[in-house]
Amino acid sequence: MRDDEGMPQLRLALAQVDACVGDLAGNADLVVEWTRKGVQSGAHLVVFPEMVLTGYPVEDLALRESFAAASRRALDALAGRLVDAGCGDAVVVVGYLDRDAAGPRNAAAVLHGGGVVARYHKHHLPNYGVFDEFRYFVPGDELPIVRVRGLDLGVVICEDIWQDGGPIAALGEAGVDLVLCVNGSPYERSKDDVRRELVARRAAEARAPMAYVNLVGGQDELVFDGDSLVVSADGELLARAPQFVEHLLVLDMDLPAGGHTGSGPIGGFDVRRAVLSEQASAAYEPLPAPPVAEPLPDEAEVWSALVTGLRDYVQKNGFKSVVLGLSGGIDSAVVAALAVDAVGAAAVHGVSMPSQYSSEHSRGDAAELARRTGLHFSVQPIADQVRVFVEQLGLTGLAEENIQARCRGMTLMALSNQHGHLVLATGNKTELAVGYSTIYGDAVGGYAPIKDVPKTLVWQLARWRNAEAEKRGEAPPIPENSISKPPSAELRPGQLDADSLPDYELLDDVLDDYVEGDRGYADLLEAGFAPELVERVLRMVDLAEYKRRQYPPGPKITFKAFGRDRRLPITNGWREHAVG
Amino acid sequence: MRDDEGMPQLRLALAQVDACVGDLAGNADLVVEWTRKGVQSGAHLVVFPEMVLTGYPVEDLALRESFAAASRRALDALAGRLVDAGCGDAVVVVGYLDRDAAGPRNAAAVLHGGGVVARYHKHHLPNYGVFDEFRYFVPGDELPIVRVRGLDLGVVICEDIWQDGGPIAALGEAGVDLVLCVNGSPYERSKDDVRRELVARRAAEARAPMAYVNLVGGQDELVFDGDSLVVSADGELLARAPQFVEHLLVLDMDLPAGGHTGSGPIGGFDVRRAVLSEQASAAYEPLPAPPVAEPLPDEAEVWSALVTGLRDYVQKNGFKSVVLGLSGGIDSAVVAALAVDAVGAAAVHGVSMPSQYSSEHSRGDAAELARRTGLHFSVQPIADQVRVFVEQLGLTGLAEENIQARCRGMTLMALSNQHGHLVLATGNKTELAVGYSTIYGDAVGGYAPIKDVPKTLVWQLARWRNAEAEKRGEAPPIPENSISKPPSAELRPGQLDADSLPDYELLDDVLDDYVEGDRGYADLLEAGFAPELVERVLRMVDLAEYKRRQYPPGPKITFKAFGRDRRLPITNGWREHAVG
Measured CA to CA, the distance from residue A38 to residue A33 in angstroms comes to 9
Chain B environment of A520 (Cβ under 8 Å): 64-67, 69
Residue A292 lies in a domain: no
Q: Is the Cβ of B352 closer than 8 Å to some Cβ of chain A?
A: no
Residue B137 lies in a domain: no
Give the residue from B61, B323, B521, B574 with the most A CB atoms within 10 Å of its CB, the best one to mutate: B574
Same domain, yes or no, for A318 and A396?
yes
Q: What is the mean pLDDT of residues B517-543?
A: 94
pLDDT at A2: 44
pLDDT tens sequence across A73-98: 999 999 999 999 999 999 999 999 99
Residue A290 lies in a domain: no
According to DSSP, the residues that pair with A93 across neighbouring strands are A47, A110
Same domain, yes or no, for B333 and B275?
no
Out of A27, A127, A415, closest to residue B134 by CB: A127
Provide the shortest C-alpha distance from residue B1 to chain A (in Å). 48
| Inter-residue long-range contacts of A479-482, CB under 8 Å, 24+ positions, other chains counted | A479/A333, A479/A365, A479/A368, A479/A369, A479/A372, A481/A328, A481/A361, A481/A364, A481/A365, A481/A368, A482/A328, A482/A329, A482/A330, A482/A333, A482/A365, A482/A369
Q: Is the Cβ of A482 closer than 8 Å to some Cβ of chain B?
A: no
Chain B environment of A56 (Cβ under 8 Å): none
Same domain, yes or no, for B237 and B375?
no
Q: First vs last Cα of chain B: how many Å apart? A: 74
Interface subset of A 3-22, CB within 8 angstroms of B:
20-22
Residue B83 lies in a domain: yes
Chain A environment of B579 (Cβ under 8 Å): 66, 70
Cβ–Cβ of A417/B402 closer than 8 Å?
yes
Residue A521 lies in a domain: yes
Cβ–Cβ of B569/A22 closer than 8 Å?
yes
Could you check whether the bond before residue B57 is cis, i.e. omega within 30 degrees of 0?
yes
Q: Is the Cβ of B29 closer than 8 Å to some Cβ of chain A?
A: no
Q: Is the Cβ of B310 closer than 8 Å to some Cβ of chain A?
A: no
B398 annotated among ligand-binding-site residues: no
Measured CA to CA, the distance from residue A391 to residue A402 in angstroms comes to 14
Same domain, yes or no, for B402 and B339?
yes
Q: Percent of chain B at pLDDT above 70?
A: 98
Q: Minimal CA–CA distance to B236: which of B214, B190, B204?
A: B204
Give me the interface pTM, i.e. the ipTM: 0.95
Out of A23, A313, A414, closest to residue B393 by CB: A414
In whole angstroms, how far apart are CA B475 and each of A307, B347, B374?
60, 19, 11
Q: What is the mean pLDDT of residues B522-544?
A: 95
Cβ–Cβ of A132/B572 closer than 8 Å?
no
Chain A environment of B135 (Cβ under 8 Å): 127-128, 132, 134
Out of B60, B418, B521, closest to residue A566 by CB: B60
Which residues of B are the active-site residues? Answer: 50, 122, 158
Same domain, yes or no, for A225 and A309?
no
Provide the shortest C-alpha distance from residue A352 to chain B (in Å). 13
Same domain, yes or no, for A418 and A391?
yes
- pLDDT-based confidence at residue B6 (cuts at 50, 70, 90): low
H helices within B116-270, ranges in order? Answer: 133-136, 167-174, 194-206
B321 lies in which domain range?
Answer: 299-549
Q: What is the mean pLDDT of residues B493-504?
A: 91
pLDDT tens sequence across A253-306: 999 989 999 999 999 999 999 999 999 999 999 999 999 999 999 999 999 999
Backbone angles phi, psi at B300, to 5 degrees: -65, -40
B402 annotated among ligand-binding-site residues: yes
Q: What is the mean pLDDT of residues B365-375?
A: 97
Question: How far is C-alpha A499 from the chain's CA centre?
Answer: 35
Measured CA to CA, the distance from residue A427 to residue A425 in angstroms comes to 6
pLDDT at B564: 66
Measured CA to CA, the distance from residue B410 to residue A410 in angstroms comes to 9
Average pLDDT of chain A to the nearest whole number? 95
Residue B291 lies in a domain: no
Q: Is the Cβ of A378 closer than 8 Å to some Cβ of chain B?
A: no
pLDDT at B248: 98
pLDDT at A162: 95
- pLDDT-based confidence at residue B579 (cuts at 50, 70, 90): low
Cβ–Cβ of B440/A570 closer than 8 Å?
no
> What is the number of structural domains in chain A?
2
pLDDT tens sequence across B87-143: 999 999 999 999 999 999 999 999 999 999 999 999 999 999 999 999 999 999 999
The DSSP output letter for B559 is T
Same domain, yes or no, for A383 and A269?
no
Which residues have a Cβ under 8 Å from the Cβ of B40 and sit 6 or more positions away? none
Q: What CATH number did the domain enclosing B417 receive?
A: 3.40.50.620
Q: Is the Cβ of B63 closer than 8 Å to some Cβ of chain A?
A: yes
Cβ–Cβ of B571/A385 closer than 8 Å?
no
Whether residue A67 contacts residue A23, with contact meaning beta carbons closer than 8 Å, is answered with no
Q: Is the Cβ of B23 closer than 8 Å to some Cβ of chain A?
A: yes
Backbone angles phi, psi at B572, to 5 degrees: -150, 110
Measured CA to CA, the distance from residue B510 to residue B514 in angstroms comes to 6
The angle, 0 to 180 degrees and rounded to 10, between the axes of the packed helices B194-206 and B167-174 is 40
- Residues flagged as binding site of A for deamido-NAD(+): 402, 431, 547
Least confident of A395-399, A474-478, A549-553, B493-497: B493-497
Whether residue B443 contacts residue B422, with contact meaning beta carbons closer than 8 Å, is answered with no
Q: What is the mean pLDDT of residues B416-444?
A: 97
Same domain, yes or no, for A317 and A423?
yes
Out of B57, B403, B571, closest to residue A313 by CB: B571
Q: What CATH number did the domain enclosing A23 receive?
A: 3.60.110.10
Interface subset of B 231-270, CB within 8 angstroms of A:
none
Out of A55, A573, A575, closest to residue B21 by CB: A573
Cβ–Cβ of B21/A569 closer than 8 Å?
yes
Q: Is the Cβ of B439 closer than 8 Å to some Cβ of chain A?
A: yes
Out of A23, A393, A520, closest to residue B66 by CB: A520
pLDDT at B190: 79
Q: What is the mean pLDDT of residues A427-443?
A: 96
Q: What is the 3-state secondary structure (H, E, C) of A441-474?
A: CCCCCCECCCCCCCHHHHHHHHHHHHHHHHHCCC
Whether residue A456 contacts residue A504, with contact meaning beta carbons closer than 8 Å, is answered with yes
pLDDT tens sequence across B270-310: 999 999 999 999 999 999 999 999 999 999 999 999 999 99
Whether residue B406 contacts residue B440, with contact meaning beta carbons closer than 8 Å, is answered with yes
Measured CA to CA, the distance from residue A303 to residue A335 in angstroms comes to 11
| Pairs of residues, one from chain A and one from chain B, whose beta carbons lie less than 8 Å apart | 231
Q: Percent of chain A at pLDDT above 70?
A: 98
What element of type H or E holds B249? strand B247-254
Chain A environment of B53 (Cβ under 8 Å): none
- Residues flagged as binding site of A for ATP: 325-332, 426
Out of A398, A407, A572, closest to residue B417 by CB: A398
pLDDT at A491: 86
Q: Is the Cβ of A488 closer than 8 Å to some Cβ of chain B?
A: no
Whether residue A320 contacts residue A420, with contact meaning beta carbons closer than 8 Å, is answered with yes
Same domain, yes or no, for B339 and B227?
no
Q: Search chain A and give the residue with CA nearest B316.
A: A571
Q: Is the Cβ of A383 closer than 8 Å to some Cβ of chain B?
A: no
Cβ–Cβ of B418/A385 closer than 8 Å?
no
The DSSP bridge pattern shows strands B247-254 and B264-266 to be unpaired
Name the 3-class secondary structure at B343: helix
Cβ–Cβ of A398/B380 closer than 8 Å?
no
Cβ–Cβ of B393/A402 closer than 8 Å?
no
Same domain, yes or no, for A525 and A414?
yes
Provide the shortest C-alpha distance from residue B487 to chain A (in Å). 24
Residue A216 lies in a domain: yes
Out of B66, B414, B553, closest to residue A521 by CB: B66
In whole angstroms, how far apart are CA A316 and each of A28, A278, A305, A307, B211?
16, 43, 16, 14, 53
B263 annotated among ligand-binding-site residues: no
Residue A135 lies in a domain: no
Chain B environment of A55 (Cβ under 8 Å): 569, 573
Cβ–Cβ of B520/A58 closer than 8 Å?
no
> Is the confidence at residue B330, as pLDDT, over 70?
yes
> Is the confidence at residue A359, as pLDDT, over 90?
no
Chain A environment of B70 (Cβ under 8 Å): 579
Backbone angles phi, psi at B231, to 5 degrees: -125, 140
Same domain, yes or no, for B464 and B538?
yes
Same domain, yes or no, for A184 and A209?
yes
Q: Percent of chain B at pLDDT above 90?
A: 90
Measured CA to CA, the distance from residue A309 to residue A288 in angstroms comes to 33
Measured CA to CA, the distance from residue A554 to residue A422 in angstroms comes to 13
Average pLDDT of chain B to the nearest whole number? 95
Cβ–Cβ of A22/B444 closer than 8 Å?
no
Q: What is the mean pLDDT of residues A483-489?
A: 92
